[in-house]
Chain A
Amino acid sequence: MGLIVSDVTVARSGAPLLAGLSFTVAEGTALVLRGPNGIGKTTLLRTLAGLQPPVAGTVTFPDDSAAYASHADGIKAQLTVVENLRFWAEVHGSTVPDTVYQAFELTDLKDRLAGTLSAGQKRRLGLARLGVIGRKVLFLDEPTVSLDAFSVKGFARWLREEHLARGGLAVIATHIDLGLEAPELELSPFRAAPDAAGGSDEAFL
Chain B
Amino acid sequence: MIALLKRDLALAVRAGGGFGLGLAFFLIVVVLVPFGVGPEAAVLSRIAPGILWVAALLAALLSLDRIFALDFEDGSLPLLATSPLPLEGVALIKGAAHWITTGLPLTLAAPALGFLLNMAPGAYLWLLLSLALGTPALSMIGTFGAALTVGLRRGGLLMSLLVLPLYVPTLIFGAEAVQRGAAGLPATTPLLMVAGITLGCYALLPFAAAAALRVNLR
Q: Which chain B residue has the least Cβ–Cβ distance from A126?
A: B75
Chain A residues, CB < 8 A from B16 = 77-78
Chain A residues, CB < 8 A from B81 = 51
Chain A residues, CB < 8 A from B17 = 78
For residue B30, give the distance in angstroms from its CB to the closest CB of chain A.
30
Q: What separation, in Å, do the CA atoms of A103 and B218 have in the docked complex? A: 33
Query: Is B28 at the interface (CB under 8 A from chain A)?
Result: no
Whether the Cβ atoms of B74 and A78 lie closer than 8 Å is no
Query: Is B157 at the interface (CB under 8 A from chain A)?
Result: no
Whether the Cβ atoms of A87 and B74 lie closer than 8 Å is no
Whether the Cβ atoms of A68 and B10 lie closer than 8 Å is no
Binds A, one of B45-53, B82-90, B146-154: B82-90
Of the four ranges (under 10, 10 to 19, 20 to 34, 35 or more), the interface on chain A belongs to 20 to 34
Of B75, B78, B84, which is within 8 A of A92 by CB? Answer: B84
Tell me what chain A mostly uses at the interface: helix, strand, loop, or mixed.
loop
Whether the Cβ atoms of A91 and B84 lie closer than 8 Å is yes
For residue B6, give the distance in angstroms from its CB to the closest CB of chain A.
8
- Return the CB mask of B17-55 against A: 1 if under 8 Å, else 0: 100000000000000000000000000000000000000
Chain B residues, CB < 8 A from A70 = 75, 78
Of the four ranges (under 10, 10 to 19, 20 to 34, 35 or more), the interface on chain B belongs to 20 to 34
Q: What separation, in Å, do the CA atoms of A66 and B217 have in the docked complex? A: 17
Within A127-164, the residues touching B (CB, 8 Å) are 129, 133
Query: Is A50 at the interface (CB under 8 A from chain B)?
Result: yes
- Return the CB mask of A73-94 against B: 1 if under 8 Å, else 0: 1111111000100011011110
Besides the known contacts A51-B78, A77-B16, A83-B10, 11 further A-B residue pairs in the complex with CB atoms under 8 A apart: A50-B82, A51-B81, A74-B71, A74-B76, A78-B17, A79-B14, A83-B7, A88-B83, A90-B2, A91-B83, A92-B84
Interface residue ranges, B against A (CB under 8 Å):
2-4, 7, 10-11, 14-17, 71, 73-85, 217-218
A-B pairs with beta carbons under 8 Å apart, 15 shown: A46-B78, A51-B217, A52-B218, A67-B82, A70-B75, A70-B78, A71-B75, A72-B78, A74-B76, A74-B77, A76-B76, A79-B11, A87-B4, A91-B80, A91-B84
